[in-house]
């Protein structure tokens, strides 16, 4: 083979590298260091190398051809596609063997054979025809032999949302294995259409090469993958993006034991013997591989051992071949769409670089209705069935999961064909599946009743063993192991519980993975003597593996297990199927939950929602009450769906011994009309609030649990009706609640009338938080009527960000002058302005005012209001804490305030003036306050540009004998080492200062040395010193360490 001279290759490569920015060249070298071919290049020489030296090192150690190929691949990895495309055009064909490819990334050394007998007509049209034939029709899971459904006619649009993987957010969201939800659309997620899966967006200027499509069991991942194949073949999808789209089923990959190459993999997707392979990979960036069901791969795929597959002809174990494809070791230019359950995301994420994550949310309300009308051919039947389900709210909510929707429609259709309607309402997933099983056992009109299969226990033990071994495809020997004979298999096939693989008749599977999990749960119900040859793990072992974690592979199985223990369901199973259910399973479950309570200090927080989901399935109040009787504090977080709220409220009404309940949710949208494209704004009510049952059940918890003293609801969309129902519980004589928080709970102004009545009726309620609700003036006016009532015993109320303005302060002032119990008021984040503060001061000056703590952060106050406030401080005898942070007071306002603080009658103990635009001039006034005010104990001046000049007068005040200050915050005040001279002397003199916060100041090593001198003084009483956010050398750290030894009571943070 003729090669270009090395010098030509060096010139060309160096010219390309010269076009890289400094950051791009650094990334290029970092990626280069990970390439096996470049492993001989010494990193010590590569790291400081410029463009020319980098090119020289590449050519010397790899040769000009390999260096060029490596560089082209790296240009893509650093997002310089322009260089890659130009390099592809420039690369001379003569440098490769005859018949070989020009450049396929790391594959260019491999020859690509054109198989003989390739079709003469356009290969793309040949393949499209094949895909149409293969994916046009789908066989319904309960279809009669030969019956098919047109995929396009049955398919209903799924809601897809982009997930931007903020790590903290992903911790809660990405590994969710519950039934995929109508997810909240927060600021980190947005809807995406199937057509734009591989398109760039504002955050990703380059098209993604890998898209991960995640969804829980039954969310329609595989059907969506099939629809992508069909729409591409029909010319409706990805026409300008991909020339060929190949579908790989992970179940089929599981059973392939022989080594195979990428050629073999593509050949298995091609309709004819001759595969025009060179035509297919000629432009690799126009290839898409769909890998469906990554979570179903057997464990050997999780961490395959051996060298990567780098060439199309190279045969490797199936695990390595698939991993090489996903990791882009094999032809990195191609695109991959991977479908998976969230349980496998953590494992998959280690294989990927910058993937786009898309989550399937399931059906919106409008799409559920559409699905019903597509499933039923008769419009009248469809309407009848839909309205029946719509009236059963828990069942209708469950139908956002496509699989559940199909099960419900199947059951309803049989009932309708029998001339009736559903005779059993279903509130849980388990009930739906049992109902489906019941429908399979019902004879068709005019046909004899089917006999139950003789070995149902074998089916359950097969399911359980498959669960533990992560196995979903079973061979005939697996069936024989569990005693399943031909008659058993035929019965299960006829009942549409089991299915035979279409392509390979010797393999069987359950009609859906969730059905395998259902029958695995049944296995653990059976009496130990009835379990046959299944796994020996008992219920305790199963629950230990589960750990009430939604990430566990056993999560859905355990939920089914709880549901199957419902007395009515258990009775049906025993009567209809003749099973003997173990009487000990319930007791084992209760012991496990009790152990969880003991190990977690009677606080239910970790796995709370998952435990509630299990208890909801059993639907037995006595059992749930027993299970939850061991918990005194219950904290349920991350309730992102209506169904999760329903589950939580159902369970908390049985928490009869709980002292505190915390239910944290998120505003969600079910959007019947627009498919959920709009989320409610921060101050507007959502289109759909939580169902009435939610508030009714919370009210029941308030009225029946005399131990409950704290109820915290956060982001619970109660609405007016929900608040009214909740207040009924608050007014109940049995309610002993002391602390109620309804922060961000969509409480409208009209609901304040009910809240006011509750404040009057409930004598135990002492604290209420209504922050972040759009109450406005009308709401506050209603609320104040209750606060002024003689029967109101409220001591603290928080009204942060409640859209209040100056007018609201007139109403609040009247409360301050009449209410003898109110001691704490928080008005942070309301645009009260100076007029509002003046009105408020009228109430503060009233002799009857007993307020002790007042928060006025971010209230748009200026210096003009400080004169009124100062005169109020000279009169008010009760106020002990005042927060004016984040108001534009400036030095004039601070000096006016100091006049009031200096007054002998002022009893303030804590003053916060953070971020008030103060300078050193304000410190003069503060100095006099420290000298004369014997009550002031805590002062926050953080984030003001006081500078070193401000420290001298401030420290003068600290050194004064009458100064009683104990805590001082000076974070981010522009201080340097010079300020430490004054601080050091003050530390040695002050007998009261206990805490000093100096975070984020440029004190330096010399400043710390001066501070240590003062801290070492025998008279220094300081107990807390924070020095975070400043670089210090080893000497400074040694000084601080030595100080800790001599003064062990001193807490130094740095």
The torsion angle over the Cα atoms of residues 604, 605, 608 and 611, rounded to 10 degrees, is -50
Domain with residues 975-1054, CATH architecture: Alpha-Beta Horseshoe (3.80)
DSSP assignment of 19-61: TS-HHHHHHHHHHHTT-GGGTTS-HHHHTT--HHHHHHHHHHH
What digits encode the pLDDT tens for the residues 138-157? Answer: 766 554 444 567 777 778 88
What integer pLDDT is reported at residue 873 of this predicted model? 94
The first and second tokens of residue 598, run together, are: 């003991």
Yes or no: say if 511 and 499 are a contact pair by the CB < 8 Å rule: yes
CA distance 354 to 208: 8
Long-range (24+ apart) CB contacts under 8 A made by 571-580 are 572/434, 572/438, 573/434, 573/522, 573/525, 576/438, 576/441, 576/452, 577/452, 577/456, 578/452, 579/456, 579/457, 579/522, 579/525, 579/526, 579/530, 580/526, 580/527, 580/530
Looking at residue 104, what is its pLDDT? Answer: 29
Q: What is the per-residue pLDDT across 164-179, written as a single tens digit (0 to 9) for each?
A: 443 323 323 322 333 3
Element (H, E) at 313: none
pLDDT at 988: 87
Helix (H, G, I), strand (E, B) or coil at 382: helix
- The backbone region for 117, taken as left when phi is positive above 0, alpha when psi lies in -120 to 50, beta otherwise, is left
Predicted local distance difference test score (pLDDT) of residue 537 = 58
**What is the domain partition of the chain in residue ranges?**
6-95, 157-362, 365-427, 456-645+661-665, 975-1054
Region 157-362: CATH code: 3.40.50.300
* Beta-bridge mates of residue 149: 138
pLDDT at 633: 95
Alpha carbons 755 and 757: distance in angstroms, whole number = 5
| Common-topology check for domains 6-95 and 975-1054 | no
What is the CA angle 595-599-601, rounded to 5?
A: 115
* Pairwise CA distance, residues 295 & 553, whole Å: 10
Q: What is residue 186's predicted lDDT score, i.e. its pLDDT?
A: 37
The confidence score (pLDDT) of residue 449 equals: 52
Contact between residue 461 and residue 532 where contact means Cβ atoms under 8 Å apart: yes
Q: Where are the alpha helices (DSSP H) in 964-1033?
A: 977-989, 1004-1015
Nearest Cα to Cα of residue 827 among 809, 851, 810: 809
Q: In what order do the strands lie in the sheet with 507-510?
A: 474-475, 507-510, 498-500
Q: What span, in angstroms and rounded, lies between the C-alpha atoms of 850 and 821? A: 7
Q: Which two tokens stand for residue 862?
A: 């200026």
Tell me phi and psi for residue 476, to 5 degrees: -60, -30
Rounded to an integer, what distance in angstroms lies between the CA atom of residue 576 and that of residue 435?
Answer: 12
In this predicted model, what pLDDT tens digit does every residue of 431-480 receive, in sequence order?
877 877 776 665 544 444 555 556 778 888 888 888 888 888 888 888 88
366's CB contacts (< 8 A; 6+ apart) are 671, 672, 673, 675
- Residue 953, Cβ density class (10 Å: 0-12 exposed, 13-18 middle, ≥19 buried): buried
**DSSP E strands, 278-333:** 287-292
Let me know: does 249 contact 238? Beta carbons within 8 Å: no
pLDDT of residue 709: 96
Look at residue 301 in the predicted model and tell me its pLDDT. 66
The total number of residues shown for the chain amounts to: 1054
The span from the CA of 911 to the CA of 15, in Å, is 64
User: Would you tell me how many other CB atoms lie within 10 Å of the CB of residue 779?
Assistant: 26
List 210's β-bridge partners, or say none: 336
Is there a contact between 1003 and 1029 (Cβ–Cβ < 8 Å)? no
Burial of 823-847, coded b for 16+ CB within 10 Å and e otherwise, reads bbbbbbbbebbbebbbbbbbbbbbe
| CATH for the stretch 6-95 | 1.10.533.10
Q: What is the DSSP string of 476-525?
A: HHHHHHTT--HHHHHHHHHTTSEEE-SS-TTEEEESSHHHHHHHHHHHHH
- The span from the CA of 511 to the CA of 979, in Å, is 75
CA nearest to 428, candidates 266, 623, 650, 271: 650
Cα(787)–Cα(759) distance, integer angstroms: 7
pLDDT less than 50: residues of the chain: 1-5, 92-119, 143-146, 164-188, 421-422, 424, 444-448, 502-504, 668-687
If residue 361 lies in a helix (H) or strand (E), which one and from where to where?
strand 356-362
162: how many CB neighbours lie within 10 A of its CB?
A: 19
């Amino acid at each position: 083979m003729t090669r270009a001279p090395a010098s030509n290759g060096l010139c060309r490569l160096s010219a390309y590298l010269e076009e890289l920015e400094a950051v791009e060249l650094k990334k290029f070298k970092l990626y280069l260091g990970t390439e096996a071919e470049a492993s001989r290049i010494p990193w010590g020489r590569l790291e400081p190398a410029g463009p020319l030296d980098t090119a020289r090192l590449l050519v010397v150690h790899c040769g000009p051809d390999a260096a060029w190929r490596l560089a082209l691949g790296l240009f893509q990895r650093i997002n310089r596609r322009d260089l890659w495309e130009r390099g592809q055009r420039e690369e001379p064909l003569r440098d490769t063997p005859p018949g070989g490819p020009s450049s396929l990334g790391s594959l260019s050394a491999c020859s690509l054979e054109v198989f003989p007998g390739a079709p003469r007509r356009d290969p793309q049209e040949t393949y499209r025809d094949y895909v149409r034939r293969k994916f046009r029709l789908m066989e319904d899971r309960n279809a009669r032999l030969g019956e098919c459904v047109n995929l396009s006619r049955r398919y209903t649009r799924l809601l897809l949302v982009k997930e931007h993987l903020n790590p903290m957010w992903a911790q809660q969201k990405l590994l969710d294995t519950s039934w995929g939800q109508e997810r909240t659309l927060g600021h980190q997620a947005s809807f995406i259409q199937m057509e734009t899966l591989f398109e760039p967006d504002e955050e990703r200027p380059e098209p993604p090469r890998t898209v991960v499509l995640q969804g829980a069991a039954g969310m329609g991942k595989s059907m969506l993958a099939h629809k992508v194949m069909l729409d591409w073949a029909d010319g409706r999808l990805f026409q300008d993006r991909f020339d060929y789209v190949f579908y790989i089923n992970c179940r089929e990959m599981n059973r392939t034991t022989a080594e195979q190459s990428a050629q073999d993999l593509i050949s298995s997707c091609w309709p004819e013997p001759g595969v025009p392979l060179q035509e297919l990979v000629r432009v690799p960036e126009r290839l898409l591989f769909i890998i469906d069901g990554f979570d179903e791969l057997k464990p050997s795929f999780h961490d395959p051992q051996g060298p990567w597959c780098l060439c199309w002809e190279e045969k490797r174990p199936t695990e390595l071949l698939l991993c090489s494809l996903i990791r882009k070791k094999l032809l990195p230019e191609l695109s991959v769409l991977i479908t998976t359950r969230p349980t496998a995301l953590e494992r998959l994420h280690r294989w990927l670089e910058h993937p786009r994550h898309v989550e399937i949310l399931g059906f919106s309300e409008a799409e559920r209705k559409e699905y019903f009308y597509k499933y039923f051919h008769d419009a009248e039947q469809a309407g009848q069935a839909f309205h029946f389900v719509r009236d059963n709210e828990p069942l209708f909510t469950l139908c956002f999961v496509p699989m559940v929707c199909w099960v419900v429609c199947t059951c309803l259709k049989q009932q309708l064909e029998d001339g009736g309607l559903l005779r059993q309402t279903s509130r849980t997933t388990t009930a739906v599946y049992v109902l489906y099983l019941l429908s399979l056992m019902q004879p068709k009109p005019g046909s004899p009743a089917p006999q139950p299969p003789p070995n149902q226990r074998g089916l359950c033990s097969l399911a359980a063993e498959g669960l533990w071994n992560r196995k979903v495809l079973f061979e005939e020997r697996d069936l024989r192991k569990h005693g399943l004979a031909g008659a058993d298999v035929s019965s299960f096939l006829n009942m549409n519980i089991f299915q035979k693989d279409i392509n390979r008749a010797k393999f069987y599977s359950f009609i859906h993975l969730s059905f395998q999990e259902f029958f695995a749960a049944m296995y653990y119900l059976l009496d130990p003597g009835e379990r046959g040859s299944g796994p020996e793990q008992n219920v305790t072992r199963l629950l230990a593996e589960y750990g009430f974690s939604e990430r566990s592979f056993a999560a859905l199985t355990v939920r089914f297990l709880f549901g199957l223990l419902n007395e009515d369901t258990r009775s049906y199973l025993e009567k209809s199927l003749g099973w003997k259910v173990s009487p000990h399973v319930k007791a084992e479950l209760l012991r496990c939950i009790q152990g969880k309570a003991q190990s977690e200090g009677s606080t239910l927080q970790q796995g709370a929602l998952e435990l509630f989901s299990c208890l909801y399935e059993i639907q037995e109040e006595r059992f749930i009450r027993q299970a939850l009787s061991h918990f005194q504090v219950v904290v349920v977080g991350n309730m992102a769906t209506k169904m999760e709220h329903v589950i939580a409220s159902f369970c908390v009404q049985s928490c009869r011994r709980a002292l505190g309940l915390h239910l944290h949710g998120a505003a969600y949208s079910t959007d019947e009309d627009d498919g959920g494209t709009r989320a409610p704004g921060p101050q507007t009510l959502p289109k759909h609030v939580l169902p009435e049952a939610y508030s009714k059940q919370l009210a029941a918890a308030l009225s029946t649990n005399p131990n409950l003293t704290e109820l915290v609801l956060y982001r619970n969309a109660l609405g007016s009706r929900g608040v009214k129902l909740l207040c009924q519980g608050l007014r109940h004589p049995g309610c002993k609640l002391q602390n109620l928080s309804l922060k961000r709970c969509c409480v409208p102004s009209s609901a304040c009338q009910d809240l006011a009545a509750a404040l009057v009726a409930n004598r135990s309620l002492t604290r209420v938080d209504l922050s972040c609700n759009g109450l406005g003036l009308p709401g506050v006016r209603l609320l104040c009527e209750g606060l002024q009532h003689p029967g109101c015993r409220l001591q603290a109320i928080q009204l942060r960000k409640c859209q209040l303005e100056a007018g609201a302060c007139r109403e609040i002032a009247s409360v301050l002058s009449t209410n003898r119990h109110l001691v704490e008021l928080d008005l942070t984040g309301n645009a009260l302005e100076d007029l509002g503060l003046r009105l408020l001061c009228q109430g503060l000056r009233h002799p009857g005012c007993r307020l002790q703590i007042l928060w006025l952060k971010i209230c748009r106050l200026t210096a003009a209001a400080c004169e009124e406030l100062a005169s109020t401080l000279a009169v008010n005898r009760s106020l002990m804490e005042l927060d004016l942070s984040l108001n534009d007071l400036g030095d004039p306002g601070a000096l006016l305030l100091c006049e009031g603080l200096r007054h002998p009658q002022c009893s303030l103990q804590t003053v916060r003036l953070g971020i008030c635009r103060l300078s050193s001039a304000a410190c003069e006034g503060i100095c006099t306050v420290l000298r004369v005010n014997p009550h002031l104990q805590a002062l926050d001046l953080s984030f003001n540009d006081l500078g070193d000049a401000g420290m001298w007068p401030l420290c003068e005040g600290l050194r004064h004998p009458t100064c009683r200050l104990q805590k001082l915050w000076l974070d981010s005040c522009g201080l340097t080492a010079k300020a430490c001279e004054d601080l050091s002397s003050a530390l040695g003199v002050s007998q009261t200062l206990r805490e000093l916060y100096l975070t984020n100041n440029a004190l330096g090593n010399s400043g710390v040395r001066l501070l240590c001198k003062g801290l070492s003084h025998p008279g220094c009483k300081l107990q807390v010193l924070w020095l975070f956010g400043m670089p210090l050398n080893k000497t400074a750290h040694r000084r601080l360490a030595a100080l800790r030894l001599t003064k062990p009571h001193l807490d130094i943070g740095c």
